[in-house]
Amino acid sequence: MSEKKYNLEDVKAWAMYEIGIEGWGFIYRENDRERHLGGILGGIDCFYYINGEPSCIVARMLHRHGIIDEDKSAPYEGTAATTLIRGVAMDRFTESALDFIGALQFHQDKGDTWGESYRLASDQTNSE
């Protein structure tokens, strides 16, 4: 029996769940990164895990669904979410799902709120 292949609607629902926890206006840079690291990040925009906990929206989504853990993601810290997924679970996501996740991470990392990141990623991703 093969594992489920996650599609665009699946990952959009995952993102909405995480946004529901933190709020539509949550900004990763100002909140999560600063809270955990005290502003000493340097040039890396996204850490998948900080202090043993999933950090950015993508890490939270993938962790909650058992796709990554801290050990699996460690070699991919500082890389794009699509690089992480292709390294650990490429065959489990449709191309549209990967496109959405990549766009979601891009907008989060440039400082958009999670809600705006979701809206922009949705606008940029083709339906399946």
Domain annotation covers residue 2: no
Residue pointed to by tokens 């996740």: 101
- Per-residue confidence band for 41, with pLDDT thresholds at 50, 70 and 90: very low
> For the whole model, what pTM was predicted?
0.85
In a domain, 26, yes or no: yes
Is 59 inside any structural domain? yes
Which residue, among 49, 62, 46, has the nearest Cα to 101 in the 3D structure?
A: 62
- pLDDT for 59 equals 95
- Domain encompassing residue 117: 8-124
Is the residue at 1 inside a domain? no
Q: How many domains does the chain have?
A: 1
Domain assignment present for residue 3? The answer is no
60 found inside a domain: yes
Query: Average pLDDT of the chain?
Result: 86
Please give the C-alpha separations between residue 5 and each of 8, 11, 97, in angstroms, as whole numbers: 10, 11, 10
Residue 41 is given by DSSP the state -
Residue 46's pLDDT is: 63
Contacts of 64 (CB under 8 A, 6+ apart): 14, 17, 18, 54
